[in-house]
Each structure stands twice: as structure tokens, then as C-alpha cells.
Structure 1
Amino acid sequence: MRYLTLIPLFLLGIILASCEGQHANESPSFGYSMESDKHYYNEVETQNGDKSQAGIERKLKKTGNVSFECVAFRDTRNQLRDLVAAHDGYFSNDKESQGNRRMNGNMQAKIPVQNFDRFMADLEAIVPKFESKDVAIDDVTAEFVDVEGQIRSKRALEARFLEIIKSAENVEELLNVERQLEQVRAELELYEGRRKLMLHETTYATLNIHYFVPIAYEKTERQADFGGAFVTGWKGLVFGLEVLLTIWPVLLGGFLLVFFLRRKLILKRVKK
């Protein structure tokens, strides 16, 4: 009977021991894991990366070339000038030349990038057919960002050198810092010039326009024109006869003068 009362106590001890072992093997959890932490930071980095990319304004450089034949050279030139002005553009180059049996016009137009597509549509409306046409778009955003970074770096270095100059202790140190400052400023000027050029190239699209009119050319000697030669010869003969008929009194007077002088000389020789 005494052993029967110990059995429930023994079973209760086993149950309690198993429960303690289970709790010992488990680690406390607060909804945290290394994988979730890693995923969280990757997501944050991605969002920050997208934000930085979206915060940078894209810099696109547009360049194009068109060539076409026109009927009236001067009228076409005036039309192009009016069209460029209507889209707030300007010409950086405007030349005329003659060669290869053509009268050639070459213009370099600068068109605001926001007006470029409308300008091309209006140009296609007045040009019936292009001999050639191409437009290229270059993304120079990365280069522009790099140039701006170089400018910030050079300006910071310039400011640092100016602070050092204020605290220079001797002439040698001062001259050394001034030489370095001069070099930094020269590099800064180059980068700022590059930035200014890139801003202009991405603000205005460049379009090279070539238009031409075929012109008549003279025939070479190998391309003889017999009909033309006959007409020219006949005109020359008629002109010669007109000249003779005009000066015949002079010719007659000269002939008579020579005749009498010659006769006088012959008579003198006979008398001797």
C-alpha cells in the first residue's frame, strides 16, 4: 500500500523534469532573427539607393545631323532661321560654299532640349525628303556627378590651404602652401569649366543642318558640243563682216595711199 502511494509522486516528478528540460532547450524569442535582421537592412539600403538615384537629375546630351536637297537656296535658309528662332534656339555656325556641283549651306543650330522634338517635327513638315538624318542621345549623368564631386573636393582643399596660410610660421612653409593652392585652383578652374560646358550641352541640343541646291556646270573639252561650236563660229563670222563693213572707208583710204606711194617710188627709179 505504501508503494502505491509513491507511484503518483514518481510520475509527477518525471513530468516536471521533462518540462524543465524542454524549457532549458528553448531560447527566449522576441520576434528577432538574424535572417530577418539581414533582410531588414538590405531593404533599407535598397530604398536609400533608389532614393539617391531618383534624387539625381539625369543629364542627357542630344546631337543630330540632317542633310537634304532644296529648291530655293535663300528661301530655305530664311525658313531655317525663322524655325530655329521660333523654338528659342540660336545658330553657333552658319556657312555657305560652292563645290561638287552644288551650292551648299551648313548650319549648326542650338535648340533647347525641351523644344527639340517639336523642332524636328516642324522641320520634317517643311522638308519633303531627307538625304540623311540621325539623332543620338548620350547619358552623361555619371560624368556630371563625378565632375561636381571633384569641384566640391577641390573647394574644400582650397579652404583648407587658406586656413594653413593664416597659421604659417615661416616663409618657406607659406610659399610651399601657396604653390599647392595655385595648383588646386588651376584644377578647380578646369573642372568648373567642364561643368559649365556639360550644363550647356545638356540644356541645348546640337543639330548640324546641311542643305544644298544642284547647280549647272560647264562642259569639259572631252564633252564637245558641235552644235554650240557651229553657232559660235557663225556668230564670229557675222561679227567679222560687220567690222569690215564699218571700217571699209579707212581700209580703202589706206590701200590708195599705199598704191600712190608705191607708184611714185617706181617712177623715180625709172627716171634714174
Structure 2
Amino acid sequence: MKNILSIFIFSLLFVSCHQKPSSIDSYAILDMAAENEIIPTTRQELANPPAPPLPPVTSQEVIKKKIIKDGRIGIEVNDLEDSKSRIDTLVKNQGGYYDNESYNNSNWESSYNLKVRIPSANFDRFLNAVETGKGEVKYKEIDARDVTDQFIDLETRLQNKKNYLKRYNELLAKAQTVKDILEIEEKIRGIEEEIESTTGRLNYLSDLVDYSTLDLTISKQKDFKYNPVKRGNFVQKLKQALFKGWYGLIDFTLLLFNLWPLWIFVAVVRYAWKKFRKKK
């Protein structure tokens, strides 16, 4: 029994002695593999560094729409002057003005034709006040045009022209010959004219956007009344006819005398024709 126990203990010691070196070797192999994994990865990162981070996304500036709003409206009223006074008050209260005003009076109708310029922010409010007033709306037409693209295009062109002008002014300051100076000044003159034209176009569009236009007609119908045309006295008209006839006869006689060269020419041609026929 003792011999068997001794043999079993000896076997365990022998096996444990042979397993220790293999464990050390396996750890070494794992370390080498880890090193081999780390080194290529590190070299790859150094050879191809990561892309720089993207810039923070900023919200783009919201472009304000440029809308031109205009229209026309016709209203028939019973009291023309009272309605006109009310329109005057509305225009003043809304910060507008009359671009044109005309009054027409005929046998069947009297009317005011008004071209009103109203700040675009108050246009709808003014139009609503006109419609809800006294009178009947006969026609109404409102248009809205988006000119934002035109604004952006003109502003971009204007900025580019200003940049060109700045560059040409710098070149002018460095020019040394008269020829170069004259050529650059000619270019500058042309660019300045283009800048003035573009600025004028922008100002015109801005005015149309800032102030809406409304062609407003207020009218009042009249009861038809026949107004005969006044005719003159018969004796007076007879005298005028006699005088006109006499003056016409005098003018005709003077015209015949004024054509005396023509009569001489006709007489010569007739005499020559008769002589020619006699010879035949």
C-alpha cells in the first residue's frame, strides 16, 4: 500500500514539472501575438492618420422672401364723397400715400381712380378695411410675385462688381505709364456705371417689395339725364355760311392765279401737239 502511494505522489510531481515550462512558453507566445497585433495596427494608424473631425454644422441663414404684392379693386358706392374721405383716412392710418388720383364725371357715372401705395405689412389690413366698408365690390384682382431670386442675383453681381472696382483701383495706384492709367480708368468708369445700374434696379425692386400697389376705383352711378346739345341761331348760322362761301371763292381764285406757270406749260404743250398733227 505504501509503495502504491509513493508511486502516485512521484507521478504527480513528474507531471507538474513537465507542465510549467509549457505554460511559460504559451504565455510568451500570446505576448508575442499581442505585440504582433498591436505593432501593425499602430503603424497603420501612423501611416494613415484619421480624417480630421467635420466642422460643426451651423444653421444656414434664413433668406427672407421678397414678395411684390399688388392688385386692383372696384367698388360702387352710394355716397362718393363720403367714401373718398373714408379711403383718405385709411390710407393715412396705414402709412400709405396716393401715387396717382383722378376724378371722372360723366352723364351716367362719377368716379375716383386712385393708385394707392401701402406698406406691404399693412396691405392685407388695408384691403380688408376697404372691402368691408360701404359699397359693393364689382371686381377684385390681387397678384403676388416672388422676386427673391432676382434679389440674390443682383446682390451677388453688385458685390462682385465692387470687388472688381477695388482691384482696379489698386492697379491704378500702381500704374506707371499714361497708357496703363487711361486703360484702367476706362475699365473703372464702365464698372462704376454697372454698379449704379445694378444699385438702381435693387432700389426699384426694394420699393416695390416694401410698398404694395393697389389700383382702387370708387364709383357712383347716376340716373340718366338727356342733355340736348345747344344749337346756334339760324340767322347767325346763315351769315356764317355766306361768309365761308365767299372766302372759299376768293381762296379758289387766288389758287388759280398761283398756278399760272402750269397754265403756260399746258398751252405750250397743246400748241406743239397741234403743229405736230398738221405736219402728219
Q: 2:148 aligns with which of 121, 141, 155?
A: 141
Q: Name the aligned partner's letter for residue 181 of structure 1.
A: I
- Give the alignment partner of residue 70 of structure 1, picking from 57, 67, 77: 77
* Runs of 5+ unmatched residues, structure 1: 220-272
**What is the root-mean-square deviation in Å for CA atoms of aligned residues?**
3.3
Distance 2:216 2:183 in 1: 52
Identity %: 20
Structure showing greater Rg: 2
The alpha carbon displacement at 1:196 in A equals: 1.2
Instruction: Give the Cα–Cα distance (whole angstroms) in 2 for the partners of residues 19 and 105 of structure 1.
Output: 101
**Matched residues in 1 for 2:107 and 2:205: separation?**
36
C-alpha change, 1:99 and 1:158, in structure 2 (3 Å) is farther
Letter of the 1:205 partner, please give it: S
Residue 90 (str. 1) matches residue 97 (str. 2)? yes
Maintained 8 Å contact 2:109/2:222: yes
Q: Could you say which residue in structure 2 is the equivalent of 1:195?
A: 202
With over 3 angstroms needed to count, the CA separation of the structure-2 counterparts of 1:128 and 1:101, relative to structure 1, is closer
Measure, in 2, the Cα distance between the counterparts of 1:183 and 1:86: 45
Aligned length: 207
Letter in 1 for 2:216: I
Q: TM-score, structure 1 length as denominator?
A: 0.62
Amino acid corresponding to residue 20 of structure 2 in structure 1:
P
Residue 163 of structure 1 is matched in structure 2 by: 170
Give 1:101 shift. Answer: 5.6
Tell me, what secondary structure is at the counterpart of 1:177? helix
Per the alignment, residue 60 of structure 1 pairs with: 67
Name the structure 2 match of 1:18: 30
Equivalences for residues 122-133 of structure 1 within 5 A: 122-133=129-140
| Matched letter for residue 13 of structure 1 | D
Residue 208 of structure 2 is aligned to residue 186 of structure 1 = no
Partner of 1:238: none
Report the Cα distance in structure 2 between the residues aligned to 1:74 and 1:138, rounded to whole angstroms.
Answer: 34
Q: 1:239-267 CA distances to partner (integer Å, 9 max, x unpaired)?
A: xxxxxxxxxxxxxxxxxxxxxxxxxxxxx
Instruction: Please give the alpha-carbon distance, in whole angstroms, between the structure 2 residues aligned to 1:176 and 1:33.
Output: 52
Counterpart check, 1:205 vs 2:205: no
| Aligned residue among 4, 9, 12 for 2:21 | 9
Change (3 A) 1:98 1:22: farther
Which residue identity is paired with 2:163? Answer: A
Q: Secondary structure at the match of 2:202?
A: helix
| Gap regions ≥5 residues in structure 2 | 1-12, 227-280
TM-score by structure 2 length?
Answer: 0.61
Aligned to 2:182: 175
Give the superposition deviation at 1:102.
4.4
* Alpha-carbon contact 2:107-2:224 (below 8 Å) kept: no
State the AA in 2 paired with 1:207: L
What letter matches 1:117 in structure 2? Answer: D
